[in-house]
Amino acid sequence: MLTVHHLRISQSERVVWLCEELGLDYELKLYNRREDNRLAPDDYKALHPMGIAPVITDGDLVLGESGAICEYIDRKYGGSRFSPGPDSPDFAGHLFWFHFSNATFMTNGMMALAAQAAGASELPAFVADRGAKSWQLAEARLGEAEFFGGSQLTTADIMMGFNLTTSRAFGGASLEPFPNIAAYLQRIGQRPAYQRAMAQCEPGMPPMLS
């Protein structure tokens, strides 16, 4: 049985969204963050050696890492429905945004959080510059394509969605300068699978779509 272990307000919501888009039969287990430090509770940390979200279990398999999990689920259970093949005109674009999501976009955000946690009064110039360029690149992409993955929703969108929505709960960019991103999030918010996923992942918390 495929089980998604979701740490509240974390990137593991991506996995739930993908499972809902695929219409999978899966089990969802919710974990609340600790009150003292807002980190994962001990029972979540015990799931995987890294002790961070996301984590799935599938029989004897324990798998971490958003990208690996999304690829695993889409290929094993979805027939690669949300992963354009090499003959698709969306192939390269999908790959870029799928990997850019955590390798660059989220990394920029984590560097900013680390600088703030260290007491920096302002972000180091290279961190601020990389962050600004990432948002501008995402805005430009959504001005030329309906989805990050191209002409249809792909796992690139599943990956990028968290960065533009729930991650802003930790502090992040206003959407006011990014009309293409704002319009995209409204389209995402209308998807029944996204609505079901967020209702399960964050009950009582409206999705951060604006």
For the domain 2-82+194-201, what is the CATH code?
Answer: 3.40.30.10
SS3 of residue 125 by DSSP: helix
Which neighbouring-strand residues pair with 3?
27, 57
pLDDT one digit per residue (tens) for the chain, 210 residues = 999 999 999 999 999 999 999 999 999 999 999 988 888 999 999 999 999 999 999 999 999 999 999 999 999 999 999 999 999 999 999 999 999 999 999 888 777 766 777 777 777 887 778 888 999 999 999 999 999 999 999 999 999 999 999 988 877 678 999 999 999 999 999 999 999 999 999 999 999 999
Using DSSP bridges, classify how beta strands 55-58 and 27-31 pair: parallel, antiparallel or unpaired: unpaired
Give the predicted TM-score (pTM) of the model: 0.94
Query: Looking at residue 32, what DSSP letter applies?
Result: P
**What's the token pair of residue 165?**
């929505």
Question: Which of 172, 175, 154 is CA-nearest to residue 18?
Answer: 154
Which helix (H) or strand (E) segment holds residue 56: the answer is strand 55-58
Q: Give the span between the Cα atoms of 127 and 64, in whole angstroms.
A: 27
Give Cβ neighbours of residue 29 (< 8 Å, ≥ 6 apart): 3, 4, 5, 6
- List the domain boundaries for the chain: 2-82+194-201, 91-191
**Other CB atoms closer than 10 Å to residue 53's CB: what's the count?**
25
CATH of span 91-191: 1.20.1050.10
Instruction: Return the C-alpha torsion angle 153, 86, 80, 7, nearest 10.
Output: -60
Question: What is the C-alpha separation between 182 and 185, in angstroms, rounded?
Answer: 5
